[in-house]
């Protein structure tokens, strides 16, 4: 799980640096590596949202919510995106 935390921090650095597409690709790898983690879908949803792809953002936030129905961020983001 430590690798996931490091990767997440690296991706947020990429997003902050305006390299959203690169971050999305790494977040997609996280989804493959950790398919049962609500957090990776939440992060990918956020990256898609920042990239202006609301359809894919919604899809990933919904998946995150399936895995963790108490994910307040996903609930909030879905309300904003729909």
Could you tell me the domains of the chain?
2-81 (1.25.40.10)
| More reliable by pLDDT, 16 or 65 | 65
Q: What is the pLDDT of residue 2?
A: 44
pLDDT at 3 over 80: no
Average pLDDT, the chain: 88
Residues 6+ apart with CB under 8 A from 49: 57, 77, 81
- Range with lowest mean pLDDT among 16-30, 42-56, 62-76: 16-30
Q: Are 63 and 46 in contact (CB under 8 A)?
A: no
pLDDT at 15 over 90: no
């Amino acid at each position: 799980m430590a690798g996931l935390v490091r990767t997440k921090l690296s991706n947020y650095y990429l997003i902050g640096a305006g390299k959203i597409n690169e971050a999305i690709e790494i977040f997609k790898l996280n989804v493959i590596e950790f398919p049962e983690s609500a957090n990776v879908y939440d992060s990918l949803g956020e990256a898609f949202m920042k990239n202006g792809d609301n359809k894919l953002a919604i899809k990933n936030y919904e998946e995150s919510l399936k895995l963790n129905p108490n994910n307040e961020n996903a609930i909030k983001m879905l309300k904003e995106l729909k």
